[in-house]
Structure 1
């Protein structure tokens, strides 16, 4: 009985602390996830921006770029399957996560490509396998076009950047109303975001949802401006390029409600050296919904690169 009482007391104290200080509880929780994945938090300054990033593992460099409204920790749970094989680097893009926000700066694809390049140059990284989800996938493609000699392969996870991908109910609704589940105005919008982006969401503690929601609410004006700018000034990949020689692993979740999985066909035409994986019952964020399987699919693809 004494042991049970002690455990209940500890659990109650932890719950009260998480309710009282959700930001501190979130840092602790994310810290444990990062440690389990072999990742360490670091930071790198580039012109005008401070870029926090997670790094761990050894070997070839694998850089993972998050999507709109996401951050470096979007890949943390999946990274535990990757750090035994690669040096994994997960940066926050300027304007997102814990990176610098500058309302006077531009955040178009070309701007973020140049910043990502400056970041990798500052780290002394010369060649990478470059992965990206959603907007991050768009940036990865543009990076490979701009710096082809630096990108050994691409890993495109429900990637934006083609007319087919953008032909989705979410983006049509945004163009008609200016409203998107990626733009959060209240804590109630966190649940809408999770429903819209994931068909099989993992467990998110309440304190983490409150912390991330609070950050997104503060970011609402800036992110509205960025989203509008991107929607108006993002030429589609197929209008700028014919094909890439870069090998690409193309991944789509069948239940993606943010972008259109039919874009796989356009991406296959852009990347003749491709492998396509369609994940049944998965939404827009495979690395969060099915981290082990998503990582395993990539590791099998990566083994073919050295054959």
Structure 2
């Protein structure tokens, strides 16, 4: 009996010690909980975390090779303030049928950020082409870009056509669109996505998600860690937004779109309050072989709000443009 009590006391003491260590770890780095949640999501999607050095940046990316040998490779490129984790709901539906490469763009997420480096459309499109060369080899990929990543993907497809067999632009930036509050704020030199506190975090989520049911819940204390992280990112975000949102090259992807010859999917959500759906029509004018899909009931994050519909549209793009 005494032995059993001693064991119980020892176990209780160990659990208390582990709990104290966990509390201390979170207190010293509240964003740790966010990283742990991202890792959980990646494992749930059966994706591996990988990294590769390409020129002067290290790319961190999620990947899956669980696909038939002749399956296409999909490269999924996130948008402004985004990261590879934005694609995990869609990746869960695509894995097993396609090879998946889901990077953090240089400057974002876990990938390298270099002080003074250019992270505008042209520089990132060139880096993306080099990443595809390095990781995908000599097989052209299906390139899928969202928002800012859509502008980068469009420019990469136009300038490096040998790397891209098919293209999908989801709520893509890089062309003029109907006037909205987001666009006015950007042109005035403000970042509508800036997160400083709980109120601005809620405003950010309200802007990007049109479907409240799909909006991620960020409980305390992970919420405080996320806010602190985004607050620290504010100067970098503003520099990038000044370049891609109101700089001379803000419409570079749209200007280059006339050179896109690959089969192309244009997909928008009708409630997009960031890149108004009118942008899709302009891209379609410049890419006459494109197919348009407009989804109802969602906002700027189609791949998180309507992953099944996005997966079906990508299947259609790949199937219909197959030799």
Question: Which residue pairs with 1:284 in the alignment?
Answer: 300
Q: Is the 8 A contact 2:125 2:155 kept in 1?
A: yes
Separation of aligned partners in 1, 2:298 and 2:39: 26
**Structure 1: 5+ residue runs without aligned partners?**
1-12
3-state DSSP of counterpart to 2:185: helix
Q: Answer yes or no: is the 8 Å Cα contact 2:158–2:259 preserved in 1.
A: no
Q: Which residue of 1 aligns with 2:135?
A: 123
Q: Sort the Cα spacing of 1:238 and 1:111 in 2 relative to 1 into closer, same or farther, 3 A.
A: closer
Distance across 2 between alignment mates of 1:118 and 1:211: 33
- Matches of 2:89 and 2:320, distance apart in 1: 24
In 1, Cα distance between equivalents of 2:199 and 2:56: 33
**Which structure is larger by alpha-carbon Rg, 1 or 2?**
2
- C-alpha displacement of 1:117: 1.6
- Given that 2:177 and 2:276 are in contact with CA atoms closer than 8 Å, whether structure 1 keeps it comes out as yes
Residues 255-266 of structure 1 aligned to structure 2 (within 5 Å): 255-266=271-282
For 1:100 and 1:184, locate their aligned partners in 2 and report how far apart those are by CA, in whole Å: 22
**Corresponding residue number in structure 2 for 1:190:** 201
Distance 1:228 1:306 in 2: 39
How far off is 1:305 after superposition? 1.9
RMSD of aligned alpha carbons: 2.4
Residue of structure 2 equivalent to 1:225: 239
Q: Does 1:216 align with 2:230?
A: yes
Quickly say closer, same or farther: Cα 1:304–1:204, change in 2 above 3 A: same
How many residue pairs were aligned? 294
* Shift in alpha-carbon separation, 1:90–1:104, aligned structure 2, 3 A: same
User: For structure 2, which runs of at least 5 residues remain unmatched after alignment?
Assistant: 1-18
Q: Are 1:158 and 1:251, in contact at CA under 8 Å, matched by a contact in 2?
A: yes
TM-score (norm 1): 0.88
Q: Is the 8 A contact 1:157 1:252 kept in 2?
A: yes
How far off its partner does 1:276 sit? 1.0
| Structure 1 residue 294, shift from structure 2 partner | 1.8
Secondary structure of the residue aligned to 2:293 is: strand
